[in-house]
Amino acid sequence: MSVGIVETQRLVVTDTEPLRLVCGAELAHVEVAYETYGVLSPARDNAVLVCHALTGDAHAAGMHAGAAKPGWWDNLIGPGKAVDTDRFFVISTNLLGGCAGTTGPGSTDPATGRAYGLDFPLLDVADLVAVQRRVLDRLGITRLHAAVGGSLGGMQVLQWALEEPERIERAVLVAASARLTPENIALSSVARAAIMEDPDFRGGRYAEHGVSPRHGLKVARMLAHVTYVSDTALRAKFGHRRDSGPGDMRLTADFEVEHYLQHQGTSFLERFDALSYLYLTRPMDYFDPFATVAEREVGTRFRLISFDTDWRFPTAHSLHIRDCLAERGIAVDHTEIASPWGHDSFLLQPPGYHDLVADHLAR
Amino acid sequence: MSVGIVETQRLVVTDTEPLRLVCGAELAHVEVAYETYGVLSPARDNAVLVCHALTGDAHAAGMHAGAAKPGWWDNLIGPGKAVDTDRFFVISTNLLGGCAGTTGPGSTDPATGRAYGLDFPLLDVADLVAVQRRVLDRLGITRLHAAVGGSLGGMQVLQWALEEPERIERAVLVAASARLTPENIALSSVARAAIMEDPDFRGGRYAEHGVSPRHGLKVARMLAHVTYVSDTALRAKFGHRRDSGPGDMRLTADFEVEHYLQHQGTSFLERFDALSYLYLTRPMDYFDPFATVAEREVGTRFRLISFDTDWRFPTAHSLHIRDCLAERGIAVDHTEIASPWGHDSFLLQPPGYHDLVADHLAR
């Protein structure tokens, strides 16, 4: 069952005051793209916030009119699904810094009339959360039944629940991290170098020059994609199959896994912006909420889920979150799910995963 | 102790006949850069061939006059070292397809008077070995006391020992593979895409245009470098140290691990050619000697070494080689060495590693 045809909506969250960011800068105009599914109860106590990962958007469930594919978490959200829209009012917002309707580095700076480019201020995960908080304020939701997110989405949920636990009853973090490893940072750094050192990046003003760092962004995505899947998954899906016959060789794509990566890289160019890629990967590198958010009494009940083949944010990251929460006396459960699909498992449906989400929301 | 000052020498190996490659193409003129250390015994029975990895060269040990750093395997090769030059006559050649003295895609095609570029024929690991064989022929060495190599170097040793075991008494394969995984191929494919899709690649004719795909080659190296080290090593070396203070952020390199990667990428541009990078990564993807080299009686005694933190060619690759050799009734020993340094461990000296090499050469 699907939530059916949906539409992305927009609202301005700086109508009463500018948004002051962690870095000290202020944004005078922030618009947010969001979607909602299900019906808010009269008591306003059934709201579930869904936080998207690096390259997600507000369109988490249902179909846009005329579209070929549903939202990115449609297998999780809908009538009778783990995040049951017969029961919950689900809100999904596009992140600050994104490129799918919410204000980001590609938006027009009202102060200059030009796109921000690299003049857009650097973002902290706390800033992403601050914008979502304003969206909920506008929708009249003071307390969430739950907040749910995978990868960077889970990092937002963690930040929020530590900052303002009285507002989130249940937190679900899937394949998340509270602190990237040097290797994680290194991999993101290569992706950013691919973009920023592309001659067509033009210091971030590529749109004004009618060009785009397509080469760099494609390579960044291909690299990232390898880290989102697992060797197990690639073996199962592609094995060593290739176009060329025995004794034949070529330098360009030949193995099926190469064609797949080429497709991933090229199709990404149609849906994502290079500046947003920079601005949304970087907050992950600096993320360290157990060091930056002061300890306080937290009533939120946490559910952590990780996947055994995830090598981008392996189970050790979830265990670290579990230990840090336990140290603060916060209620937390963690389960490692067996899945061949690596980090991407959070978008898929390996056995047991969705049941854990449903159970936690029902507690 | 070092072998002292050494010089790279060159010889032509196509003086009697052109080199016919696995792909069917012929090279009329192949020149090979090589170095030797130690003295060949009157019986010519103390020769050890050293095979280099992807970005190595003939300069494996000793110092070039005026140089700041010794050869890449100087910790292994020298008087009293694991490959003892008081006892062995060591030969090291730059690979066919390389860019450090041996004929490769950057060399002049005698048929056209221009650089080969992408007209250079595709290479098989068997071709790399065929060139080394000719070098040994010219040096009058019919039988090797041992062949030793790490990573792609180990793959050459494996190819050779399976093809012509009567010529190699002992084989040492360090951090090698007999068959890349789809993930290995995917990572190399991203690196090649970074180079070939760089606008300055100019279809491989960049040198004629006075440019170079520097952006792509740098990204390729940065990416590869992340896969050569381990998270353990990066944690130990850099941790989360960064230039910026608390609350400060930047998109460009800030964490020490980022500066390190930038340095690795930039310095690589001074010493390696983009075309050679393509031509020497690709043979690894197609490498499958247990499928392509017919089974025959092999007298070579194999020693396999892998490292517990190597995630480019993890121990599973060495176990696969061990099992395939054992199935053919070939004598083989394998040891996994504990080392924090990942794939790069084969160039370093984790405890126990060099002793295993020395012991095998002494058997």
- If one counts every other C-beta atom within 10 angstroms of the C-beta of residue A140, the result is 9
Task: Decide if A341 contacts A307 (C-beta within 8 A).
Answer: yes
- If one counts every other C-beta atom within 10 angstroms of the C-beta of residue A247, the result is 11
Pick from B187, B192, B234: which is nearest to A182 by CB? B234
Name the B residues in 275-304 with CB < 8 Å from any A CB. Answer: 278-279, 282-283, 285-286
- Summarised one tens digit per residue, pLDDT across range A223-276 is 999 999 999 999 999 999 999 988 789 999 999 999 999 999 999 999 999 999
The CA-based angle A76-A82-A86, given to 5 degrees, is 100
The count of C-alpha atoms lying within 13 angstroms of the C-alpha of B153, restricted to the half-sphere facing its C-beta, is: 30
- Bridge partner list, B27: B19
Residues of A with catalytic roles: 151, 310, 343
What pLDDT, on the 0 to 100 scale, is given for residue B363?
84
Chain A residues with CB inside 8 Å of B219's CB?
190, 193-194, 197, 216, 219
Contact A181 B231 (CB under 8 A): yes
- Summarised one tens digit per residue, pLDDT across range A206-224 is 999 999 999 999 999 999 9
Contact B218 A197 (CB under 8 A): yes
Q: How confident is the model at residue A102 (pLDDT cuts 50, 70, 90)?
A: very high
Q: What is the DSSP letter of A8?
A: -
Q: What is the DSSP letter of A203?
A: G
Catalytic site residue B317?
Answer: no
The angle, 0 to 180 degrees and rounded to 10, between the axes of the packed helices A274-286 and A214-228 is: 40
Contact B181 A285 (CB under 8 A): no
- If one counts every other C-beta atom within 10 angstroms of the C-beta of residue A270, the result is 6
Residue of A nearest to B219 (CA): A194
Beta pairing, strands B26-27 & B19-20? antiparallel
Give just the sign of the alpha carbon dihedral B32, B38, B43, B48: negative
Q: Assess whether pLDDT exceeds 80 at residue B331.
A: yes
- Summarised one tens digit per residue, pLDDT across range B244-258 is 988 789 999 999 999
Contact B258 A194 (CB under 8 A): no
Task: Decide if A181 contacts B231 (C-beta within 8 A).
Answer: yes
What pLDDT, on the 0 to 100 scale, is given for residue B297?
83
B261 touches chain A (CB under 8 A): yes
- Summarised one tens digit per residue, pLDDT across range B232-245 is 999 999 999 999 98
Sequence spans of domains, chain B: 5-180+288-362, 184-282
- What's the CA gap between B95 and B129, in Å, rounded? 9
Mean pLDDT of all residues belonging to chain A:
97
- Residue B339: phi and psi, rounded to 5, are -155, 135
Residue of A nearest to B22 (CA): A247
What pLDDT, on the 0 to 100 scale, is given for residue B321?
98
Task: Decide if B156 contacts B129 (C-beta within 8 A).
Answer: yes
Fold match flag (A5-180+288-362 vs A184-282): no
B5-180+288-362 belongs to which homologous superfamily?
Answer: Alpha/Beta hydrolase fold, catalytic domain (3.40.50.1820)
What pLDDT, on the 0 to 100 scale, is given for residue A304?
98
Q: Assess whether pLDDT exceeds 90 at residue B100.
A: yes
> Can you tell me the mean pLDDT for B142-162?
98
Task: Decide if B61 contacts B54 (C-beta within 8 A).
Answer: no
Nearest-neighbour CA in chain A from B211: distance (Å): 13
What pLDDT, on the 0 to 100 scale, is given for residue A246?
82
- Per the structure block, which two tokens stand in for B146? 């041992």
Residue numbers belonging to the annotated binding site of A for substrate: 221, 344
Nearest-neighbour CA in chain B from A208: distance (Å): 20
- If one counts every other C-beta atom within 10 angstroms of the C-beta of residue B93, the result is 30
B194 touches chain A (CB under 8 A): yes
B233-249 b/e with 16+ CB inside 10 Å = b?
bbeeebebebeeeeeeb
**Chain CA centroid to CA A223, Å:** 17
**Chain CA centroid to CA B33, Å:** 14
- What's the CA gap between B48 and B53, in Å, rounded? 16
What pLDDT, on the 0 to 100 scale, is given for residue A1?
83
- Summarised one tens digit per residue, pLDDT across range A279-313 is 999 999 999 999 999 998 878 999 999 999 999 99
- What's the CA gap between A199 and A214, in Å, rounded? 10
For A184-282, which CATH class?
mainly alpha
Catalytic site residue B343?
Answer: yes
- What's the CA gap between A235 and A241, in Å, rounded? 10
A33 touches chain B (CB under 8 A): no
- What's the CA gap between B326 and B330, in Å, rounded? 5
